Amino acid sequence: MRKALISAAAAFMALNASTINGASIQDRIAGIEPLAKVRTTAPLRAARMAYGNPDLDLTAVNAEFWYYGDVYGNGTGVYYLIMSNTEHVKGVPVAEGQMARIYLVADAAADKNNPTLPTGTFTYTEAASPAAGEFVGAESDYLDVFSDPDGSAYLYSYEYKLGPGSIEIDEADGGYSVSGATEARMYDDDGTLLRTDSVTMNYYGVCDFTDPDNLRRLDHDVDMGRLTTLSGNYRDGGGWSLAFFDLQLDHEGFIASGGQYFNLELDTADHSPMNPENLIGSYSPCDLMATGGIAGCFGQGFIYELYGTKVAMGTYLQIYNDQVVEDGLGLAESGTVTITKTDEEGNYRFDFDVTTFEGKHVTGYYEGNVADCVVDYSKNAAVEGLPSDSSILIKGGKGEIVAPAEAKVFTLHGVQTGRENLPAGIYIVRCGAESVKVIVK
């Protein structure tokens, strides 16, 4: 039975630490980007069947929808409908209850900044390029969430992918009436079907458009102090993607506390294999969108819209509150990053002194090892779990992904998929101990 993974928007945030590097901004964004070890929401755990039978009848008390735009490149629009009888943060349940998340395909919105929920009957599809009036079963799910009977703080869930059936949406009394009945399919982590059930979903009321990527900007100066942990990667061309944080993680690598997450994108002289001594120096900002990476510069922070979802990239600070929810984003515009070597044991000090586009001052530092914390993906490096030439063997193309035979491919919702006839979007490829994300066009 599948672990309930983070929603599409949250998943994009989870990928932020693997920002962009390469010869040009287009190459950087389109290239292979390692999945960060940090995920930005508390996990739901896979349920053990002994806990009881799942509740498969949802009478929702709240509903909202997100708009992703023309994901499939066929002139349609994707509307992500979320109905639940429980609290959630960006589509991720944070309390007991049931939730349905339905990937509707309809006519494109006339105004993508103010769309309205489409009405009509939506039927199940597995097509690579779905038509208006269909819902994509592989991207739609039903969750039954409950507390751990053993008393831990974790939530557990039964997760189903929706199968054949239909969803009916009508306007009603200034809101909407939604009713659905579909097959429900539970899979294990290897994509093997475990059981098939039926679910019903009903809602009556207001269903407003919500922008899950409306990131609250930092509104005050921040002295981060010492950031205790470093994780990142180095790639050909001298690009370094580094994440520094003081967040607490659980044993699966999920964020388990509030804290600070500072993402740094900088460029040095090209060298393969990776040589941390190339980092020594002082770095000024550059505009990655205008110039690409420049040796001796760190990339300014920016928001990039990718398939309808906004992603923070470059150099930025993201703060999380005690509920592990984003609580302030600062995109670096100006300032200095200074890196010095502190001893002959491979330890370095990073001093951050940057100012955001809103004029907020962000300072802090990291002191510790680099080589043991940064994965070398350059052409002359051997990465454990991946072939040494993985940059060639794992890549996205038009409707397909090229990867080693042992690799597994997943959507951002955590659904295992094939490698051919894929709709445009971002996919996670897992091979050995490593994960990378690729873009399919």
What pLDDT does residue 41 have? 36
Mean pLDDT of 287-307: 83
Determine contact, residues 427/410, Cβ cutoff 8 Å.
Answer: yes
Q: What is d(CA 162, CA 142) in angstroms, rounded to the nearest whole number?
A: 7
Report the mean per-residue pLDDT for the chain.
Answer: 80
Q: Is 70 exceeded by the pLDDT of residue 334?
A: yes
Tell the residue number behind the tokens 């509104």, with chain if given: 219
Q: What is d(CA 359, CA 334) in angstroms, rounded to the nearest whole number?
A: 9
What pLDDT does residue 214 have? 65
What pLDDT does residue 412 have? 57
DSSP β-bridge partners for residue 204: 177
- The lowest-confidence range among 74-88, 119-133, 393-407 is 393-407
How many residues does the structure list for the chain? 441
Q: Which of 178, 180, 162 is nearest to 170 (CA)?
A: 178
Split at pLDDT 50, 70, 90, the class of 424 is low
User: What are 35-80's pLDDT values in tens digits?
Assistant: 222 333 344 555 444 346 789 999 999 999 999 888 888 999 999 9
Q: What is d(CA 189, CA 373) in angstroms, rounded to the nearest whole number?
A: 28
What is the percentage of the chain residues whose pLDDT exceeds 90? 44
What is the percentage of the chain residues whose pLDDT exceeds 70? 77
More confident residue, 271 or 58: 58
Q: What is d(CA 59, CA 69) in angstroms, rounded to the nearest whole number?
A: 28
More confident residue, 306 or 92: 92
Mean pLDDT of 380-398: 54
* Sequential DSSP letters for 96-138: SEEEEEEEEEEEPPS-TTS-----EEEEEE--SSPPTTEEEGG
Q: Is 50 exceeded by the pLDDT of residue 306?
A: yes
More confident residue, 62 or 309: 62
More confident residue, 168 or 399: 168
Q: What is d(CA 224, CA 233) in angstroms, rounded to the nearest whole number?
A: 22
Q: Is 82 helix (H, G, I), strand (E, B) or coil?
A: strand
